[in-house]
């Protein structure tokens, strides 16, 4: 019994030490990330993307509820902010085409915002079947928006 206790206290005493050693052995993280700095639009889209993943998952798992409307509101608010920004691809267009490119981008974003507002109301009303269809339609607007306005090498 005494030996067991002794072994136990020895084990407890060594845990933190070995923990520390494991940490010391970790390779240092690179000081500068390899990625290029994000544009403001990428940051805004990134926030939309996080909330969208959860909405899509809820739709796939048949778990759309009134609470999902809050996530949709997050996507909508960021889409509204995105409307005031300019896709990086625009700078690669001839100067004469840029105003139309921006107007088309804003128009597509407005379609998205309208669809998201309808989805929010539908979720709050508890109409899950319609909400599931609307989630798919939001996905289609995202895909065509990315096809037309995002730099090709950024498509993931
Ligand atoms: C629910 C809808 C949408 C979601 C969840 C979404 C999500 C995203 C994500 C995750 C990125 C990558 C961000 C990064 O590189 O860090 C992105 C980029 C981008 N998205 Fe969206 N997006 C949506 C709709 C749209 C629509 C409708 C348009 C166009 C009207 C659009 C235009 C763009 C553009 C242009 C970029 C590249 C950013 C830049 O040029 O600086 N997105 N989006």
Indicate whether 50 belongs to any domain.
Answer: yes
The residue whose C-alpha atom lies closest to atom 11 belonging to ligand 1 is 45
Indicate whether 78 belongs to any domain.
Answer: yes
Indicate whether 48 belongs to any domain.
Answer: yes
Residue range 57-71, pLDDT digits in tens: 999 999 999 999 999
Indicate whether 2 belongs to any domain.
Answer: no
* Nearest C-alpha neighbor of 56 from the set 41, 71, 46: 71
Which protein residues touch ligand 1 with a CB less than 6 Å away? Answer: 38-39, 41-42, 45-46, 48-49, 52, 75, 87-89, 105, 108-109, 112, 138, 141-142, 145-146, 149-150, 154
Number of structural domains in the chain: 1
Indicate whether 17 belongs to any domain.
Answer: no
Q: From ligand 1's centre to the CA of 87, what distance in Å? A: 9
Question: Residue 131 is part of a domain; what is its CATH number?
Answer: 1.20.120.10
Indicate whether 45 belongs to any domain.
Answer: yes
Q: For the purposes of burial, counting CB atoms within 10 Å of the CB of 116, is it exposed (0-12), middle (13-18) or buried (19 or more)?
A: buried
Indicate whether 118 belongs to any domain.
Answer: yes
Residue range 74-104, pLDDT digits in tens: 999 999 999 999 999 999 999 999 999 999 9
Residue 71 belongs to domain spanning: 40-154
Determine the average pLDDT of the residues in 106-117. Answer: 98
* Nearest C-alpha neighbor of 131 from the set 139, 144, 121: 121
């Amino acid at each position: 019994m005494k030996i067991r206790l002794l072994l136990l206290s020895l084990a407890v005493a060594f845990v933190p030490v070995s923990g520390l050693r494991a940490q010391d052995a970790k390779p240092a993280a690179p000081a500068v990330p390899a990625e290029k700095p994000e544009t403001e639009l990428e940051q805004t889209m990134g926030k939309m993307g996080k909330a969208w993943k959860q909405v899509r998952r809820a739709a796939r798992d048949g778990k759309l509820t009134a609470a999902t409307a809050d996530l949709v509101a997050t996507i909508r608010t960021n889409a509204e902010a995105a409307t005031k920004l300019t896709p990086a691809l625009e700078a690669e267009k001839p100067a004469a085409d840029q105003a139309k490119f921006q107007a088309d981008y804003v128009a597509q974003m407005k379609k998205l915002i309208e669809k998201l507002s309808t989805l929010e109301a539908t979720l709050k009303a508890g109409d899950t079947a319609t909400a599931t269809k609307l989630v798919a339609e939001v996905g289609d607007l995202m895909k065509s928006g990315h096809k037309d306005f995002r730099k090709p090498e950024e498509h993931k």
